[in-house]
Amino acid sequence: MLPILRDEIKEIQILIDNINQDSFQLINKHQNDEEQKQVPAQNEQEIKAKEQKDREVAMTLEKIVQQDRPKYLEFRRLVDYHLESLKYQEMKDKPKLLPITGQTKLLYKATNDGFLAANFHQKCDNQGKTISFILSDQGQVFGGYTSLSWASNNTQYKDNDAFIFSLSKNTLHKQYQNFDYAVYHGKDYLIVFGGGHDIRIYTGCNNNTSNLNQCNLGYAYLPPQGLKYGDQQATEYLAGSAQFKVIEIEVYQVIV
């Protein structure tokens, strides 16, 4: 009888082990199901935001001629990276270029809203602090920040917080002279920094073939070492050429 009893005990033990294993798997499944249910809403929002961004990029590329599409993709990469950097005081991977912190909201996108000064002012006037990103037909990405609201009153302003930059060259240019000419608010212009002008984007900037668009770095904002205001290199530094067209502009409200 003992061998039979031992066999029965073994069978019972195997049955118990199987039950325990099934229970363990069931508990794990339940926990996994609960974890799946508790996926942070933020992750879902991030996925939706990325899908929306991808759709917007695709729509923008359809509006841009074939030869300019790689330039826009580089613009998108640089702008998105630096917009993300504005959320933090410091960046882990490399030093932060833009010396401001805050959340951002897109106010104006030239390929959607139009390249006329009236389009720009309709979207950007009286919106407080803004940061602007410009893509030239030379593939250069540059722009500026101002703490003053844009306006259409043809007036020059002092703004101690204003600065300009090149994302393509990863350089920041703060004011060093002519401080009363930090920004200009003109009804026929979109974006103007400096009185000389360090950055000047004229209405219809996507079609300009003359020098109505201008980046003569050094009037109010410090040029790189070796460059001097009025020199050819200074006029070509930001946009890539003294005469240029604009492929894209994005202006974001900065919310501190």
Per-residue model confidence as pLDDT tens digits over 26-80: 445 444 555 555 556 678 888 887 888 788 888 888 989 899 999 999 999 999 9
Instruction: Of 20, 37, 190, give the one whose Cα is nearest residue 110.
Output: 190
Tokens of 125: 């006037």
The torsion angle over the Cα atoms of residues 63, 67, 68 and 69, rounded to 10 degrees, is 70
Q: State if pTM tops 0.75.
A: yes
Instruction: Of 204, 175, 207, give the one whose Cα is nearest residue 189.
Output: 204
Dist CA 175 CA 35 (whole Å): 52
By the 10 Å C-beta count (0-12 exposed, 13-18 middle, 19+ buried), 33 is classed as: exposed
Tens-place pLDDT, residues 89-113: 988 778 899 999 999 999 999 999 9
